[in-house]
């Protein structure tokens, strides 16, 4: 995240496996989408983290 912030990226996003959602919530990501099933058959969810005004 430090690198992303150093190159002026304002938002990071990822598609987390549903079973890992709480891990990402603890690190500052927020859920921004609905659950979907990836081609692998595993449920995922889109998550984002704002890097603006954030100490990393």
Q: How confident is the model at residue 20 (pLDDT cuts 50, 70, 90)?
A: very high
In the numeric block, which tokens belong to residue 52?
């603006």
pLDDT of residue 54: 67
List, in sequence order, every residue forming a beta bridge with 47; answer none if it has no partner: 14, 31
List, in sequence order, every residue forming a beta bridge with 45; answer none if it has no partner: 16
**Comparison of pLDDT for 19 and 1, the residue scoring more:** 19
Give me the mean pLDDT over the 21-45 stretch.
97
What DSSP state is assigned to residue 18?
Answer: G
Give one word for 28, left, alpha or beta, with left for phi > 0 and alpha for psi -120 to 50: left
- The pTM for the full model equals 0.84
Q: E strands, the chain, where?
A: 11-17, 30-31, 36-37, 43-50
Is the pLDDT at 10 greater than 80, yes or no? yes
């Amino acid at each position: 995240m430090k690198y992303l912030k150093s190159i002026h990226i304002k938002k990071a996003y990822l598609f987390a496996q549903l079973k890992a959602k709480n891990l990402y919530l603890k690190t500052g990501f927020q859920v921004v989408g609905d659950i979907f099933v990836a081609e692998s058959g595993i449920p995922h969810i889109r998550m984002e983290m704002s890097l603006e005004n954030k100490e990393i």
